[in-house]
Amino acid sequence: MADKVHDHIVSSYQEELTSLKNQITKMGGIAEELLAHSFDALEKRDPELAAATIKDDSQIDALERDIEEQAIIMIARRQPVALDLRQIMAAIRISADLERIGDLGKNIAKRALAVADEHRPKHLMLGLRHMGELSLEQLKDVLDAYIERDADKAQRVWQRDEEIDSMYNSIFRELLTYMMEDPRNIGLCTHLLFGAKNIERVGDHATNIAETVYFLVHGETLPDERPKSDTTSSTAVDLPGAAE
């Protein structure tokens, strides 16, 4: 009888851990979709898509609350240690990063609304689009790393953060040049700068998730200092409202 009770407890516990993992997977999928829609809205001047994307962020917020509540209850009831505790703490940390990614996607959609009627040079939008695609690829890869418990894949995402930083630096300089050439471009370019900064920060949160996955698998932090090549801080202060 005691063995059956023990087996039931273990089975129930594993189901709770699996449910937590599935919730993170669902949240990550919504975050990916929201980001993709925000990039499309910005590129295609689609105010309806932008407005719908802004509303979709509430789903991510609700999932973060559910995951945090579930994790706290599990810690209180199960008193997990070692790998089990890392799985629960990883879920809390990753859900927080995904919630911020959702906010950043919402902010990009807000910029899309603000510039819907503005003429935008095609080459400027191509750079932003490429940067957005790269950040989406990083997010997808790091979520796959979490699902597969693949620390090597997570580390590769972590090492690629410099690519997004380099693209942001290039877009930052290009937009500043465009503003200096014609003051009438200042309004448009300011919104695009905010959008680019939000995309860069999506990469930062994907990198955070990569660090969490590595710790989840190995029980230790990544051995090297985080790669970073955002040089715009030497040119101007961080953009106010970029992650509002």
How many other C-beta atoms lie within 10 A of the C-beta of residue 144?
A: 16
13-60 pLDDT per residue, tens: 899 999 999 999 999 999 999 999 999 999 888 999 999 999 999 999
pLDDT of residue 235: 46
Report pTM: 0.88
Which DSSP category does 90 fall into?
Answer: H
Contacts of residues 200-204 at CB distance under 8 Å and 24 or more positions apart, as own/partner, are: 200/131, 200/135, 200/164, 200/165, 200/168, 200/230, 201/100, 201/104, 201/242, 201/243, 202/35, 202/101, 202/104, 202/105, 202/135, 202/138, 202/139, 203/134, 203/135, 203/138, 203/161, 203/164, 203/165, 204/161
91-133 pLDDT per residue, tens: 999 999 999 999 999 999 999 999 888 777 777 788 899 999 9
Q: What whole-number percentage of the chain has pLDDT above 70? A: 88
pLDDT of residue 41: 93
Domain residue spans of the chain: 2-234
Query: Which CATH number is associated with domain 2-234?
Result: 1.20.58.220
Question: What is the Cα–Cα distance from 210 to 141, expressed in whole angstroms?
Answer: 9
Q: Please say if the pLDDT value at position 8 is more than 90.
A: no
**Least confident interval from 6-15, 95-104, 211-220:** 6-15
Question: What is the Cα–Cα distance from 202 to 239, expressed in whole angstroms?
Answer: 15
Both tokens of residue 50? 């932008």
